[in-house]
Amino acid sequence: MAHQSVNHTVTSLDGTRIAVFESGNPEGPVLVAVHGYPDNHSVWDGVAAELGDRYRVITYDVRGAGASDKPKGKAAYKIDRLVEDFAAVIDDVSPDAPVHLLAHDWGSIQSWGPVTDPRFADRIASYTSISGPHLDYVGTWMRDRSHPGASLRQALSSWYIAVFQIPWLPERVVRLAAVDQGIARAELKGRAETALKNPVVRSEADKVNGIQLYRANMPQRLARPRPVHTSIPVQVLAPTRDNYVSTRLATEVPVPFVDDLTVVEVDGSHWVVSEQPDVIGALVDTFAGQHAATRAS
């Protein structure tokens, strides 16, 4: 699918302008897809192409990335602000009907905010989460003494979270070409280069501004978790070759808190949304179809 131009912008509560993109069937159910770090909305182009004949696909650049505004200071990147961005988007594109929500990496982490917020209980028909667990669920799981080895292995895999707390140094490092090369290796995960069906072009802003997501949210949420239950149907897709989120973490952390949970392990890397958009599209379509009628308004 060709790279889209900005369709329009919406303005969040704090005045941040969010760039919104639309494709697909204008008469179809609305699917909102939220990208992670260090991506922009184009990471969803492949999935949007797979689902465009049936869904009205809405993507947007998270604040700090792509064509959206880039506020300064870590307070602007707290999950509460990101939830306000999501609310502004769905109020604009689907004010009268619930949407299906799809998210990856930090897009998924932030999307747990509205999914566990009672104000959105009738605004989200289904949620598919990929490689981005709820931080409060993670903090609770990491304290479970029944799996100390798994917790330690996940902590070691998440070393970069601590590094991102250091002032100014991460911003300098992510500008290096070696970082892009490392991301490319993680995307391909040993496959031929042609396996990446939807390569993402990331700007310096995408890589630099997103560091504030880690600073604004990780320490507090992981140190003092306050998990909240949700009754919204949730599908967790867990790539089995994810370097950053273990399959065990992805599949276990939501179990005590999600009333209607579907877990599917997918043979893919952390960037499975680019690697296998056809697989992701099919799983999202099936899950959304199962919950379209039950939560329609």
The residue ranges of every structural domain in the chain are 8-291
What's the pLDDT score for residue 143? 78
Q: Write phi, then psi, for 269 (nearest 5 degrees).
A: -90, 180
The DSSP line for 177-241 is: HHHHHHHHHHHHTTS-GGG-SS-----HHHHHHTHHHHHHHHHHHHHS-----B-S-EEEEEEEE
**Dist CA 267 CA 255 (whole Å):** 21
What's the pLDDT score for residue 295? 46
Mean pLDDT of successive 10-residue segments in the chain (297 residues)? 67 98 95 95 96 96 96 95 98 96 97 97 97 93 67 55 60 60 56 57 80 85 87 97 90 96 95 94 97 57
What's the pLDDT score for residue 149? 61
In contact, 130 and 105? CB cutoff 8 Å: yes
HEC string of 43-98 equals: HHHHHHHHHCCCCEEEEECCCCCCCCCCCCCHHHHCHHHHHHHHHHHHHHHCCCCC
As a residue count, the chain comes to: 297
Each residue's pLDDT tens digit, 157-188: 554 555 566 566 566 667 655 455 556 556 55
pTM of the model: 0.85
Each residue's pLDDT tens digit, 30-59: 999 999 999 999 999 999 999 999 999 999
What's the pLDDT score for residue 163? 55
**Dist CA 107 CA 102 (whole Å):** 9
| Cα dihedral 282, 242, 83, 69 sign | negative
Instruction: Judge: domain 8-291, CATH 3.10.180.10.
Output: no
Q: How big is the chain by its Cα radius of gyration, in Å?
A: 18
What's the pLDDT score for residue 204? 77
Using N-to-C axis directions, what is the helix angle for 211-223 and 135-142, rounded to 10°? 50
Best CA proximity match to 133, nearest among 40, 41, 274, 263: 263
What's the pLDDT score for residue 190? 45
DSSP 41: G
